[in-house]
Structure 1
Amino acid sequence: MKITVNVECTPEEARRFLGLPDVQPLQDAVMQQMQDRVMSSMHAMDPETLLKTWAPMGLQNFEQIQKFFFSQFPGGGGNGNGDKKK
């Protein structure tokens, strides 16, 4: 024997009928906090801020690598120790 019961109700009505807690206020609060955190960290994702943060170190490192590279070759501006030839 098979019995089928169809119940038409909204999710809110089913939650109340089953005695489940209403988590909507908690979900709203968590979502608001997440939104606030994302919005506050957006300034760190600004391209201008990223370039200001990365560019100075990147250019200095590039210049150091370039000097080291050229100092390894004869006539490249150094004797391999970073000292220039006279």
Structure 2
Amino acid sequence: ADGYDSGGSDEREFADAWLMRAHGHNAVDLDEIDAAEDALQETQFLLDDFAGLIDDFESQGGSARDLFEIVRQVVNNKKTEAGETN
């Protein structure tokens, strides 16, 4: 009635194929966006969890600077054992 109908599935498939050829490079991958948002949320969770551990460590009388230095030394020792250089 409005003139915007198709004559069948072949026409719709050809139209879809043309749209992908002409504009597919601008397509948005919603699954990729969701995965990136999930990864960002997981990273934020880990950062919040780590901040909580630092707070607990300091509340027990520890120094965050001392803890960071110890962690840096452990990482450097592991790199040395593995034969890596900075």
TM-score (norm 1): 0.34
Q: Which has the higher contact order (CA 8 A, sep 6+)?
A: 1
Bigger-Rg structure (1/2): 1
TM-score (norm 2): 0.34
